[in-house]
Amino acid sequence: MVSIRIFRMGRLRRRMIRSDATSDELWAALPALSGGDLGLLLDHPHVDEKHVLKLLERQDLPGEFLAGVTKTRWIRSPRVQFYLVNNPRTPLPQAMNFVKFLFWRDLNFVTMNFRLATEVRHMAESVLFQRLPALAVGEKVLLARIAGGQILKALRLEKEARVTAALLENPRLVEEDALFIINQSRTPGPVLEVIARDPKWSTRKEVRVALLRNGSTPISAVIPFITQLNAQDLKSLLHDPKVPAAVRRMIQARLGGER
C-alpha cells in the first residue's frame, strides 16, 4: 500500500510543475510536459524565453496549445513568433497571421521549410518579395547566398555587382539562372564582369558564349575565352550579329592565326 502511494506521488511530481521549480528543473521537464502542464509553464515565475523556444521546437504539441501561445505575453517576442510559424502543428490561421511580422532572414527560412503548409511558405515568399526593394545592399548580399525559389529568381535582376557575386555562391543557382542574368539587355557591365571572372561559372562553355555575345561585357574580361573555345564555336560567333565588332575582330585574328 505504501509503495503504491509513493509511486503515484512520484508520478504526480513528474507530471506537475511545482511553483518553486528552478529554471534548470523547468528545462529538464520540457521534453515530457503535456496537458495542463504546458499552460502552467508559460505562467511560471522562473520561466524565460529560452524555455518557451525550446518547448516550441517539439513536433508533438497540440494545436490548441500552440494557438493559445499567441494570446500570451510571449507572443510579443519575434523569436517566439518565428518558432510558432515554423511549427507544422501551429493552426494555419495563427501561422499565417504572424508570417508578416518575421524578419527577412526568418521569412527566407520559412519559404524553404517544407514541413510547413504550402500556404504558409507561399505567404512568406510573398512578404519577402514585397520587402526586397527596401532591403539594404548588405542584406541583399546575405540573402543572395541563401535564397531559393522565386526570391532567387527576383535577385537575378539586381544591378549591384556585389549581390550577383553572392548569388553565384548560392548552391541553388543553376546555369539557366546565370544565362538569364547575362542575356538581359539591361544587365550592367560590372555584373557581367563578375560572372566572367567567377572561377566556377566562367568555365562553362554556354556562359562564355553568352558573355561574348553581350555588348556590355567588358572586353578585358572575355579575351581569355577566345583562346579557350574551339574553332567551331569561334566560327559560329564570328557570324553572329549580336557579337560586338571588337570581339569578332579578335575571333577573326585568332582563327587566322590558327590557319
- Indicate the Cα dihedral angle 36, 73, 131, 113, nearest 10°: -20
DSSP state of 201: G
DSSP class of 17: P
Q: Tell me, what's the pLDDT at 257?
A: 59
Cell of 219: 572586353
* Burial tier of 203 (Cβ tally within 10 Å: 0-12, 13-18, 19+): exposed
Q: Is the pLDDT of residue 34 over 80?
A: yes
Question: What percent of the chain lies above the pLDDT cut of 70?
Answer: 93
Q: What is the mean pLDDT of residues 238-248?
A: 92
d(Cα 255, Cα 235) in Å, to the nearest integer?
Answer: 8
pLDDT digit string (tens) for 178-210? 999 999 989 999 999 999 999 999 999 999 999
pLDDT of residue 16: 61
**CA neighbor of 92 nearest in space, from 61, 59, 126, 116:** 116
Mean pLDDT of 27-48: 91
Tell me what pLDDT residue 9 has.
31
Asked if 80 and 52 touch (Cβ cutoff 8 Å), the reply is yes
Cβ burial 206-217 (10 Å sphere, 16+ → b, else e): ebbbbbbbbebb
- For residue 120, give the amino acid letter: V
* Amino acid in position 86: N
pLDDT tens-digit readout, 134-192? 999 999 999 999 999 999 999 999 999 999 999 999 999 999 999 999 999 899 999 99
Strands (E), 90-151: none
Phi and psi at residue 140, to the nearest 5°: -65, -35
pLDDT digits (tens, 9 = 90+) for 85-125: 999 999 999 999 999 999 999 999 999 999 999 999 999 99
